[in-house]
Structure 1
Amino acid sequence: MALHAELHRHLGGSVVPRILWRYFHRQGSPLAERFPTYPEFEDFYTRPRNTLEDYLELHTLVEHVQTLETLPYFIYRLLRGAYVFEDLAYLEIRYTPYLRTDPSLDEADRLKQMRQVIETVGQASQQQEYPIVTSQILCLHSRLPSHINRAMLEAAVESDYVCAIDLAGGDKPYRERMEEWIELYKYALARGLKTTAHLYETLDGCHPELLPYVSRIGHGIQIPLHYPELLPELARRGQCLEVCPTTYLKTGTLPSLDPLKIVFDRCFEAGVDIAICTDNAGLHNVRLPFEYENLLTHDIINFEQLKLCQEAAFRHAFAWPYKDRPASLLSELQQGVAAASLVALEA
């Protein structure tokens, strides 16, 4: 039975390296010539980078091949892996739809095509074979112009497949457009959308001005590490951190997992929830259960704290339609079976 919720997974970083390598070879991509054997591609694709900016450049490898025609192929394989290998019951898929439109079109037609992209992702996510509850988070992009971000927000408001917006693309450019981001986030909340943003992931992304307008905080690890005085306010608002452990090693943000113990300890003490996530499972070549196991084996958290994080993921999920998480439903089912068996024995 699927048991887990994943709140922070980018579509561009979700494709596991072997599937991507095979796709390049089947399509005769120039990257097939550059990487004739899989091991060298895996090493290139999954090795750590020095900075977040270097790391984000890898997304462009995938964005240009995730088109209207190929999105169902990638979505199917994402859901298959998530259901079979990760036991996911719930998945929020985030991406920038404009970057999946046809670059040969003029801008007006690309803006129209964004809605087709959202519809395609939504329909492809309705898999009977791998029944995961899914929803979309559209990523406004810090390097795209204002009118394109506004068009994406309007598309998010109009789509039943979208539950929230995000702000991604690198956190260094946030500052110069902060008034714009706040305006867009206020509008999103007023129209009934949930909100998250890549904030306090790195020391360049520490922008307290945006915190009041996010339902959840993408990463947010610099708050307990360097700004713990903000934690009581996060707890008061009921905001949850989306912590993605492997990311911080891949981007050079942390030298090891050890500082995450401070993150978890201070958040638990302050009453701030954490959902453990993968961020870019394909880029990292890891899956959500590995993130759990890695935190346990490095003594970052214990099993009781893991359970609290797993419960928090469902509690803060933007589109989980049930009151309880699957583990609770399974426990009720087991209790019912046990009671029925007892009645049968007594009879």
Structure 2
Amino acid sequence: MALYADLHRHLGGSVVPRILWRYFQRHNPDLAEKYPQYKEFEEFYTRERNTLDEYLELHTLVESVQNIDTLPYFIYRLIRGAYIFENLAYLEIRYTPYLRTNPTLSQRERIEQMKAIVEVVDKASKVNEYPIVTSQILCMHTRLSYEINRAIVDLAADNKHQICAIDVAGGDKLYGDKIDEFVKLYQYARSRGIKTTGHLFETPHGCYPQLLPYLMRIGHGIQIPLQYPELLTEVASLNQCLEICPTTYIKTGTLEELKQLKVVFDRCFDAGVDIAICTDNAGLHNVRLPFEYENLLTQDIIDFEQLQACQDASFRHGFAWPYTQPPSALLVGLLGDRTSIPTDKEKTFSQN
């Protein structure tokens, strides 16, 4: 039964290591030769990194093989795994479309091809045998020019039936020199009616409060309760939700241990700030959403009541979730009061 939502999952980091390795073996001789044994590749792909920048370099490995022709291959397997192994009812897939275009084209041609990339992702995400509600978040990128990032905003605004929001991705050390650009881009996005999230306050290098007023959700945001708890009142007043991705902070060296997140959850709950628990890069981590839940529970970072609150918040803050209730509430409504309805087995017993 599909019951969960993931609001923060990158297309580039969503491919589990065995699927990516098999793709190399079948379709990319150069990378197959570089990683001949699966065990060695899995250890390389999923090991902890020292910094966020080092961690983000792994995305380039996947982006190099994700293009207009291969995206259906990867997305089908993403949707299949999300439905069967994670019980997802709702999934927002985020990525930078420009980085999936043909690098041999001119910048203008690559910008034009972004629309085709969005179409491919949309079509590939609709898998009848795995009925998940999906939508796309398009990521601007700190390493791309203002012109390209504005084109990404325009693409999102012109295709709201496929795209639910925009984001900004890339190493947060690069925000500083371009912060005025991103303020303008977010202002422009809001003026065009686009919903917004953004990688912000993830590490001590990514703390830019001047972007907060333009965000409807905050990608990560853990440094707010950890280092700037005075901002929680503003976050709560704006009804912003933090997209917390627990395993990421260990993989990037941002936190030394998962238990450090207890302060994040406690301060957010005390301040009335919603949290959605997400995976970020389930493939890079080899950790699916139910295991994120389990890890938080078993380490006494949250309790079951808090977990339920986070799960409900994921649907409440889902940009394209089409219902007013989470699936569990909808299921109860469909079943009705079963205590007064005899089952077939009960009918049989009553007749004998």
Give the TM-score band, short-chain normalised: over 0.9
Q: 5 Å matches for 1:31-42?
A: 31-42=31-42
Distance 1:235 1:310 in 2: 18
The alpha carbon displacement at 1:84 in A equals 0.1
Residue 214 of structure 2 corresponds to 213
Distance 1:261 1:20 in 2: 33
Distance 1:336 1:116 in 2: 47
The alpha carbon displacement at 1:189 in A equals 1.3
Distance 1:218 1:341 in 2: 47
Residue 249 of structure 1 corresponds to 250
Distance 2:28 2:198 in 1: 36
Deviates more, 1:51-60 or 1:26-35: 26-35
The alpha carbon displacement at 1:193 in A equals 1.1
Report the secondary structure of 1:307's partner residue. Answer: helix
User: Does residue 226 of the first structure (1) align with residue 227 of the second (2)?
Assistant: yes
The alpha carbon displacement at 1:194 in A equals 0.7
Letter in 2 for 1:264: F
Deviates more, 1:123-132 or 1:327-336: 327-336
Deviates more, 1:294-303 or 1:186-195: 186-195
Distance 1:63 1:298 in 2: 34
Distance 1:325 1:206 in 2: 32
Residue 94 of structure 2 corresponds to 94
Distance 2:132 2:263 in 1: 33
TM-score by length of 2: 0.96
Letter in 1 for 2:16: V
How many residue pairs end up in the alignment? 346
User: Does residue 258 of the first structure (1) align with residue 259 of the second (2)?
Assistant: yes
Residue 171 of structure 2 corresponds to 170
The alpha carbon displacement at 1:104 in A equals 1.0
The alpha carbon displacement at 1:188 in A equals 1.1
Report the secondary structure of 1:58's partner residue. Answer: helix
Letter in 2 for 1:186: Q
Letter in 1 for 2:122: G
The alpha carbon displacement at 1:192 in A equals 1.5
CA offset digits 1:271-298 (Å, max 9, x no partner) = 0000000000000001000000000011
Q: 5 Å matches for 1:20-31?
A: 20-31=20-31
Q: 5 Å matches for 1:298-313?
A: 298-313=299-314
User: Does residue 182 of the first structure (1) align with residue 169 of the second (2)?
Assistant: no
Question: What is the aligned-residue RMSD (CA, Å)?
Answer: 1.4
Distance 2:198 2:162 in 1: 19
Report the secondary structure of 1:69's partner residue. Answer: coil
Residue 331 of structure 2 corresponds to 330
Letter in 1 for 2:53: E
Distance 1:180 1:230 in 2: 23
Distance 1:76 1:189 in 2: 32
Deviates more, 1:118-127 or 1:6-15: 118-127
Letter in 2 for 1:163: C
Q: Which runs of 5+ in 1 are unaligned?
A: none
Distance 1:28 1:302 in 2: 45
Distance 1:7 1:338 in 2: 35
Q: 5 Å matches for 1:121-136?
A: 121-136=121-136
Letter in 2 for 1:121: V
TM-score by length of 1: 0.97
Residue 161 of structure 1 corresponds to 162
The alpha carbon displacement at 1:10 in A equals 0.1
Letter in 2 for 1:31: L
The alpha carbon displacement at 1:106 in A equals 1.3
CA offset digits 1:290-344 (Å, max 9, x no partner) = 00000001110000000000000000000000111101112223334333339x9
Residue 202 of structure 1 corresponds to 203
Distance 1:239 1:108 in 2: 35
